[in-house]
Amino acid sequence: MPKLSKKGIDIPVSPIRKLAVFSEQAKARGVKVLHLNIGQPDIEAPREAIDAVKNSNLKLLPYGPSQGNFSYRKKLSKYYSKHKININAEDILITTGASEALTFVLNSICDAEDEIIIPEPFYANYNGFASASGVKVVPVASEFNNRFQLPSLENIDSKITPKTKAILLCNPSNPTGYVYSKLEIITLCELSIRKNIFLIVDEVYREFMHGDIEHYSVLRHPEGHQNTIMIDSVSKRYSLCGARVGCIVSKNKLLIQNLLKFAQLRLSPPTYALIASEAALDAPDSYLKKVISEYSKRRNVLIKALEEIPDVKVSHPMGAFYCMVKLPIDDAENFSKFLLTSFEDEGQTVMLAPATGFYSTPGYGINEVRVAFVLNEKKLLRATKIIRKGIKKYNKIYASPVV
């Protein structure tokens, strides 16, 4: 058969989905699988969003504007102003999910062999987007022991080469839950200006803050406006993952113009999803407050339960709905597979996301997993019980634990 592309072959399989086949086999055996592996919210979307679609009176679905309809962009700019982000409708390009947003941005600023610096661990698909665009990811390690805060400026600076086109950050971070401080963001802005590169910040978890911390958006630093790009999505905020609506926001007009060409190629974002996303902005403030307080409660329950398991270490997340967990086992991927293929407790088991896929450096995160707290408290407690028993049984069968 004809050969496939190198870049396609190079795309790594997602650590979030790579064990899916074992989970399906477990389900086929009648075992119930509790999913801690995927960040799929289980909370209802705003009624406004769902109702708007049900009440729409479209008779056919025409193409919309490639940049997204003006009324939605206008309303979004008002939403951002509540977060002290001052931008206009013209600074927003609506995309088919944050995934498309990041793909457009990478393609708009990088040619093949160019480099992007990302603090690791990072959202696993960043590796994939980079491979798919022929771009090289240059990781800078952040540390489990200090909650994965920003690596030192010297360390980041030392990775910048003439091929470096951007630094990419997720704030709050998936998978670590770390929230970058105003100082960290401004430091990176200034570095980007000095080095004439872009700073891309994926802020899809902006609203999900645990405790009294203020999120500092990269767009709040006006000096960086030619260099900074913000990525957003309705997926997590409004439990609208399947809508596939995101956006790119930047004050850099030349960049937005160039991104529009990529947007025009794919014609327009999905119509019904836009209707839902625009209406979601009409939800009362109480909607998000309730959602976030629910996730914060789950976070606390989960951390407590996990830390009660001997030799388990949890990196306490300040935002988003994930935490990184160090387990007293030799290999988290083997262990995760074991849970799905060779273990059950009263007909139930757990699916985890092994952490190596969130790192770019080989060998990092080998005994870590990412846990998403998108299940209710009862299920989370049940899941931690299963993990506790699973560790015991796994370590009886396999090598002695590495702590």
128 binding its own copies? (CB under 8 A): yes
- Options 123-131, 136-144, 170-178, 281-289: segment touching its own copies (CB under 8 A): 123-131
100 binding its own copies? (CB under 8 A): yes
176 binding its own copies? (CB under 8 A): no
Number of residues that bind its own copies (CB under 8 A): 81
CA dihedral sign of residues 12, 17, 19, 24: negative
> Looking only at residues 276 through 335 of this chain, which bind its own copies when binding is defined by CB under 8 A?
276
157 binding its own copies? (CB under 8 A): no
Residue 4 tokens read as 């496939």
Q: Out of 163, 272, 330, 388, point to the residue binding its own copies (CB under 8 A).
A: 272
96 binding its own copies? (CB under 8 A): yes
61 binding its own copies? (CB under 8 A): yes
Rounded distance between C-alpha atoms, residue 377 and residue 368, angstroms:
22
Alpha carbons within 13 A on the beta-carbon side of 170: 29
Q: What angle do CA 212, 40, 286 make, to 5 degrees?
A: 45
Q: By C-beta, is 274 or 387 nearer to its own copies? A: 274
> Looking only at residues 181 through 210 of this chain, which bind its own copies when binding is defined by CB under 8 A?
192, 196-198
14 binding its own copies? (CB under 8 A): yes
161 binding its own copies? (CB under 8 A): no
Rounded distance between C-alpha atoms, residue 369 and residue 333, angstroms:
8
51 binding its own copies? (CB under 8 A): no
- In DSSP notation, 256-283 reads HHHHHHHHHHT----HHHHHHHHHHTTS
Question: What is the arrangement of strands in the sheet containing 368-372, beginning at the earlier edge strand?
Answer: 313-315, 322-326, 368-372, 353-354
Letters for 216-255 (x = contact with its own copies by CB under 8 A, - = none) are: ----------xx-----------xxxxxx-------x-xx
Q: Are 171 and 228 a contacting pair, CB within 8 Å?
A: no
53 binding its own copies? (CB under 8 A): yes
